[in-house]
């Protein structure tokens, strides 16, 4: 579904302050697959995600979505950021419905869909609350509902739980798993949390430190549906150890 | 629920950032104003200063009554409010679109900002002689001074208001399939509006300063004119009345804007 071939990102090419952020990156994400990219900070994983959304351009290489070159953002690829991107002047329900305005659906159909997704992320009773009245975890739940409700073919998530505390993060991961089981879609998920990547993904790409490129690809053979409790299973722990080793090699020389 | 005997919280009035009872907060403000007027009354009634330099409050009250009966107060207020409204609205009409363009498009920022920064440092007062040559001594000269004084600050503040909208909010809006013009209209403008509203409130306050400057020199009606004329005849009570009236009018407009803000932008208030 998404295929990146020899992607480079170079800032100020040829200049004295030339920075190679991404170097010859190749990856692919299949239909309805949940794929994570994990790597040290500054490795270019978020930049790549912006490119996949069409919000940034590669300096070289081919980026194909459904066989076609990605050119600019579109409603086919939804995005969830780490920072809060809810519209503060709209209520929870209005925020979610905002994403449907280009869907061509009738208002009544929009409203029932919005209600369905509010239940999905467990925000019943908060329909008319403004984002300022919500906790960080609740806001990200709205952001996820908003990104799912208009059924983009692919969901791009840039450390969506990075700003949350550890307990909330666990709950959000379960919620996302549950939402994904109900509404299967293709997900490309960027994180630097190893457990998070393993728990959620079918495959995990490990990136090197800057200039970032794919260092390893790990298939996560854990049965679905998954729960947070799986994190203590021997299979999970073995994968975790393997990933930890790969990441450590990248982070240690930069400490 | 049965509560255990509660420990009485010590009241700490001057702890850093600590909250104090609302009544105390409001009361302190009122008391300070009362003390101010009391001190004024004291120094004048005890004869510490000559009435010609500082008249007693009673003289200012008498002046209110006599100006009210003569109708001059109303005429002056009306003339001044008219001038400030037109001048400020004119400035706002230009500052809003230009500031919004500058905040969203680097090209317009590059195009206008150097010039605006240049003019911004020219004192509006220095334009008074020039504007009299250009526009005479009528209302349009006042509008020009108000415009020069207000616009060049206002437009930069509107630009900054627009820039506070997080870029991620714009990026995520693209992924819903919106065009850049739709994002400008449906996302950036509503998001920047509370900030812009505050800019309007603040610049209206500044406009009062330029109004008096404009009226001090060439006018035959208006609060600034009344103050200037009173100086010639050493009517300090008239001067003080004029200043007080401007202060009160400013306070009223400020509160109107603040209350409207609360009504319009309830979502912008933190309630958790």
Residue range A170-194, pLDDT digits in tens: 989 999 998 898 889 999 999 989 9
Residue B28 lies in a domain: no
pLDDT score, position B257: 94
Among chain B residues, CA nearest to A101 = B176
The larger pLDDT score, comparing residue A95 to residue B47, is at: A95
pLDDT in the model for residue A255:
63
Q: How distant, in Å, are the alpha carbons of B103, B154, B187, B191 from that of B106?
A: 7, 18, 18, 19
Q: Does A112 touch chain B (CB under 8 A)?
A: no
Nearest to A145 by CA among A86, A77, A226, A187: A86
Q: Looking at this predicted complex, what is its ipTM? A: 0.92
Q: List, for residues A188-228, the tens digit of each pLDDT value.
A: 999 989 999 999 999 999 999 989 999 999 999 999 889 88
Specify whether the CB–CB gap between A175 and A143 falls below 8 A.
Answer: no
- Any domain includes B40: no
Q: What are phi and psi of A212, to 5 degrees?
A: -75, 140
CATH number at residue B124: 1.10.3720.10
What is the reported pLDDT for A196?
94
Confidence of residue B271 (pLDDT cuts 50, 70, 90): very low
A109-161 tens-digit pLDDT: 999 999 999 999 999 999 999 999 999 999 999 999 999 999 999 999 999 99
**Residues B166/B110, Cβ–Cβ less than 8 Å:** no
CB contact under 8 A, B171 and A74: no
Distance, in Å, from the CA atom of A111 to the CA atom of A144, rounded to the nearest integer, reads 17
Contact A81 B172 (CB under 8 A): yes
Q: Which residues contact A254 (CB under 8 A, 6 or more apart)?
A: A40, A209
Q: Could you tell me if B174 lies within 8 Å of chain A, comparing CB atoms?
A: yes
Average pLDDT (A79-91) is: 94
Number of Cβ within a 10 Å radius of residue A109: 12
What is the rounded average pLDDT of the residues B165-186?
Answer: 96
- Asked whether residue B39 is domain-assigned, the answer is no
Contact B268 A132 (CB under 8 A): yes
Residue B270 is predicted with a pLDDT of: 55
Q: Is B49 within the bounds of a domain? A: no
Domain count, chain B: 1
Predicted confidence at residue B19, as pLDDT, reads 84
Residue range(s) defining the domain that contains residue B251: 60-268
Question: Which pair of structure tokens corresponds to residue A108?
Answer: 């009544």
In a domain, B165, yes or no: yes
Considering only CB atoms, B175 lies closest to which of A79, A132, A133, namely A79
Suggest the residue from A85, A142, A160 to mutate for an interface test with chain B (most B CBs closer than 10 A). A85
pLDDT (0 to 100) of residue B14: 86
pLDDT higher than 90, residue B9: no
The pLDDT score that the predictor gives to residue B219 is 84
Pick from A74, A79, A132: CB nearest B270: A132
CB pair distance less than 8 Å for B177 and A50: no
Reported as a single tens digit per residue, the pLDDT across B199-214 is: 999 999 999 889 888 8
pLDDT score for A183: 86
Q: Looking at the domain assignment, is residue B131 inside a domain?
A: yes
Q: Is residue B36 part of a domain?
A: no
A138 touches chain B (CB under 8 A): no
CA distance linking residue A136 with residue A246, whole number of Å: 31
Q: Å from A157 to nearest chain B CA?
A: 11
Task: Confirm if B227 and B238 have CB atoms less than 8 A apart.
Answer: yes
User: Cβ of A75 and B191 within 8 Å?
Assistant: no
- Residues B61-72: tens digit of each pLDDT: 999 999 999 999
Q: Is residue B191 in a domain? A: yes
Do residue A89 and residue B267 have CB atoms under 8 angstroms apart?
A: yes
Mean pLDDT of chain B: 92
């Amino acid at each position: 579904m998404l295929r990146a071939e020899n992607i480079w990102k170079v800032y100020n090419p040829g200049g004295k302050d030339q920075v190679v952020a991404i170097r010859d990156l190749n990856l692919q994400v299949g239909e309805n697959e949940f794929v994570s990219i994990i790597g040290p900070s500054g490795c270019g994983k978020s930049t790549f995600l912006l490119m996949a959304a069409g919000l940034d351009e590669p300096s070289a290489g081919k980026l194909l979505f459904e066989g076609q070159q990605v050119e600019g953002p579109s409603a086919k690829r939804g995005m969830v950021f780490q920072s809060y991107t809810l519209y503060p002047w709209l209520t929870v329900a209005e925020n979610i419905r905002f994403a449907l305005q280009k869907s061509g659906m009738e208002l009544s159909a929009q409203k029932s869909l919005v209600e369905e997704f509010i239940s999905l992320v467990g925000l019943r009773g908060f329909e008319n609350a403004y984002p300022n009245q919500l906790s960080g975890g609740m806001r990200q739940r709205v952001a996820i509902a908003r990104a799912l409700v208009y059924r983009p073919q692919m969901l791009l998530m840039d450390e969506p739980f990075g700003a949350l505390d550890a307990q909330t993060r666990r709950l959000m991961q379960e919620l996302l798993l549950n939402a994904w089981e109900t509404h299967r879609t293709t997900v490309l998920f960027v994180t630097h949390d190893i457990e998070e990547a393993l728990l959620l993904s079918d495959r995990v790409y490990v990136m090197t430190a800057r200039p970032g490129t794919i260092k390893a690809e790990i298939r996560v053979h854990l049965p679905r549906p998954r729960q947070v409790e799986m994190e203590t299973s021997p299979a999970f722990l073995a994968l975790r150890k393997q990933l930890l080793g790969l990441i450590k090699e990248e982070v240690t020389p930069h400490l | 629920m049965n509560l255990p005997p509660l420990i009485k919280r010590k009241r700490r009035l001057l702890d850093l950032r600590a909250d104090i009872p609302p009544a105390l907060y409001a009361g302190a403000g009122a008391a300070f104003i009362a003390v101010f007027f009391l001190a004024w009354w004291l120094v004048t009634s005890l004869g510490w200063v000559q009435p010609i330099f500082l008249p007693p409050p009673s003289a200012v009250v008498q002046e209110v009554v006599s100006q009210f009966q003569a109708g001059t107060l109303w005429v002056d207020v009306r003339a001044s409010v008219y001038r400030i409204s037109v001048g400020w609205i004119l400035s706002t009409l230009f500052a809003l679109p230009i500031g919004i363009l500058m905040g969203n498009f680097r090209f317009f920022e590059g195009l206008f900002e150097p010039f605006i920064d240049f003019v911004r440092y020219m004192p509006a007062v220095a334009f008074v002689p020039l504007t009299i040559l250009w526009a005479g001594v009528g209302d349009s000269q006042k509008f020009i001074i108000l415009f020069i004084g207000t616009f060049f600050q206002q437009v930069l503040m509107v630009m900054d208001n627009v820039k506070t909208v997080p870029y991620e909010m714009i990026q995520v809006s693209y992924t819903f399939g919106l065009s850049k013009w739709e994002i400008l209209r449906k996302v950036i403008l509503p998001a920047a509006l509370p900030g812009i509203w505050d800019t309007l409130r603040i610049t209206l306050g500044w406009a009062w300063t330029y109004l008096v400057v404009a009226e001090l020199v060439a006018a035959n009606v208006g609060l600034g004119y009344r103050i200037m004329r009173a100086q010639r005849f050493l009517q300090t009570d008239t001067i003080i009345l004029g200043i007080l009236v401007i202060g009160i009018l400013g306070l009223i407009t400020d509160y109107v804007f603040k209350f409207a803000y609360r009504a319009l932008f309830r979502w912008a208030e933190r309630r958790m």
